[in-house]
Each structure stands twice: as C-alpha cells, then as structure tokens.
Amino acid sequence: MATIAFIGLGIMGAPMAGHLVRAGHRVVGYNRSRGPVDKLIESGGEGASSVAEAVRDADVIITIVPDSPDVQDVALNEDGIYANAKQGAIHVDMSSIRPDVSVQLAEAGKKAGIRVVDAPVSGGEAGAKEAKLSIMVGAERADFDEVKPILEAMGSTIVLVGPPGSGQTVKAANQLIVAGNYELVAEAIVFLRAYGVDTEAALKVLAGGLAGSAVLDRKGASMLAGQFEPGFRIDLHHKDMGIVLDAARAKEVVIPLGAVTAQLIAALRAQGDGGLDHSALLRGVERLSGQKVSGQ
C-alpha cells in the first residue's frame, strides 16, 4: 500500500480519492476549498492544509485540476510538488491539459528527482464514481508498471499510449470525438422531435445499432429530460477544444468538424450555459432551431 497525496477533490477527484482509500492506501488530500478535504477525512483519508504538506511523505502524488496553469502552479511553485516531494516520488497528473505542458512538466520533474506521468481520464462523473474510468497514460514503461495497480483502483481501462505527453494527446482526441458525438446526438433529438417521433423509443433503437455510443447510453435519457447537472462542464470542454485546435494546428492537421463543434461549444458558453454539463449542447441546437430550450 502506498502513501498517496491527492490534489484536487472536485467532481472527479473526490470519488477517485475515495476509491484509493477503500483500496487500503494512505491518502492525504488537498483542495483549495476545505469542504472536500473534510469529506475525505470522514471517509478514512487524511487532510493537508497545503500542497507542500500533502506531498511531503508521499510515494505517489496525483493531481486532477482544471487547466494547464493550475497544474503548473501546484507542480512548480516554491510551495508545490517538485520543491517539496521526496526524491523518487511519482507525480501522476490526471488533469486534461496541453500535451506540450505535460512534456515540460516531465522535464522539470526529472531535474527535481521526481518521475512524472500524464494519465488523463475519460468517463465523466459516473465513471469516476463507479471506478470505470478509461485512463490513457504517457510515461516510461517502468513508471507505468509501478503506478498501474494504483490506477486500477480508479479505472477499468488503463493503457500506456507512449512517452510523457502522449496521454494528453490521446485525451485531446477523446474530447474531439466526445464533443462531436454530443453535438450529433443533440441534433438527432431535435430532428426526431420535429417529426413527432417517440424520442425515448428512438434513442433506444439507435443505441442498439451502429449509432450506439456511451453518450447515448449514459446521457440520452437526461438529455431528453432536460437535465444538465454537470458531470463535465461546458466551460471545461471549451478549454479542451482549445487544446485540440492548437495541437492540430501545430501539426498541420485539418479538423473541420471539430472546429465547427468547438465554435458551437463556445457559443453555448457565451450564452451563459458554461456551468452546465456538456450534454447541454442540446440547448444550442434548440436555440438555432427556434425551439423551446430544454431545462427552462
């Protein structure tokens, strides 16, 4: 069993840290707001009042925070991970950030005697709660082998996809596919409703064929019901689509459908829906079609 510092106890991080506690690890949590730390303590974990305190005795440090600057802050500042963790510790960043930043962190960690692994996740809040996340890992093989048993407490699909930075590249591709899937499901729902079709029955039969997807399985019913409580916010998917577009441009890859979907997400955010789940793309299609907006 390892001593694990867990930094970032939000929608995803809190249940993930809980799984590690139940697996028997010593988990020391830190979060900018204190409430989630207290909940972790109630479930058998421990709390810290700073990043430096959380990582001091840790064998493994897990971070899952919103964006690249947040990871850089907790990793690189004087009160952060690399200045305070013990030599040989492994930093597993499970945030969704820019691939080039992950590479930079790996280089900075190496200089500080810290091994760095990028391990972003897919599966949303439900996957986090059920410990069924898909985890795409960029790491050296030896580091991957060492942390894999820990990752298995939080996910059901754990794959090494290449050296540091590779996990974030695969996550960017994941977010591209997920965004497009949500948009097309949203368009299909509005289309079906316009023709008076039984949409619940329609989604059921669509999910059983080639059009089936995890989006239909997990979010079809809530989209029909106009329920958009955030499992993954539009604001965060907007950030991720920026990563996708920048990374594609850097390699001169053309992603026309991805670019359009990114604009639709940006528009939804500009209309005040940034705090809703990304399945709220349905609301954008409804607005464009001049229809009543779900959830209002």
Residue 207 pLDDT = 97
- What is the CA angle 78-29-17, rounded to 5? 130
Tokens of 24: 């028997």
Which superfamily is assigned to 169-288 in CATH? N-(1-d-carboxylethyl)-l-norvaline Dehydrogenase; domain 2 (1.10.1040.10)
What's this model's pTM, rounded to 2 decimal places?
Answer: 0.92
Residue 296 pLDDT = 74
> Strand 133-138 to strand 121-122: parallel, antiparallel, or no bridges (unpaired)?
antiparallel
Residue 108 pLDDT = 97
Residue 231 pLDDT = 87
> Strand 90-93 to strand 115-118: parallel, antiparallel, or no bridges (unpaired)?
parallel
* 171 counts as catalytic: yes
Name the stretches of the chain with pLDDT < 70.
none
Task: Calculate the dihedral angle through the C-alpha atoms of 45, 46, 49, 55, rounding to the nearest 10 degrees.
Answer: -90
Residue 68 pLDDT = 96
Phi-psi region of 196 (alpha: psi -120 to 50; beta: other; left: phi over 0): left
Domains of the chain, residue spans: 3-163, 169-288
Give 3-163's CATH code, choosing from 3.40.47.10, 1.10.260.40, 3.50.50.60, 3.40.50.720.
3.40.50.720
Taking Cα atoms as reference points, which of 97, 37, 92 lies closest to residue 63?
92
* CA–CA gap between residue 255 and residue 243 (Å, rounded): 13
Element (H, E) at 4: strand 3-7
> Identity (one letter) of the amino acid at 212?
G
Local structure of 28: helix, strand or coil? strand
- CB-facing half-sphere around the CA of 225: CA atoms within 13 A: 8
DSSP summary character for residue 277 = B
Residue 284 neighbours by CB under 8 Å, 6+ apart: 186, 264, 267, 268, 271, 273
Residue 205 pLDDT = 98
Tokens of 226: 């106009």
Residue 79 pLDDT = 94
Catalytic residue among 39, 111, 129, 171: 171
Q: State the CB neighbour count (10 A cutoff) for residue 44.
A: 12
* CA–CA gap between residue 182 and residue 114 (Å, rounded): 38
At residue 152, φ and ψ (nearest 5 deg) are: -65, -20
* CA–CA gap between residue 74 and residue 277 (Å, rounded): 26
* CA–CA gap between residue 161 and residue 166 (Å, rounded): 6
Q: Alpha carbon of 276 to those of 41, 180, 227, 232, 272: distances in Å?
A: 29, 17, 9, 8, 9
Residue 255 pLDDT = 98
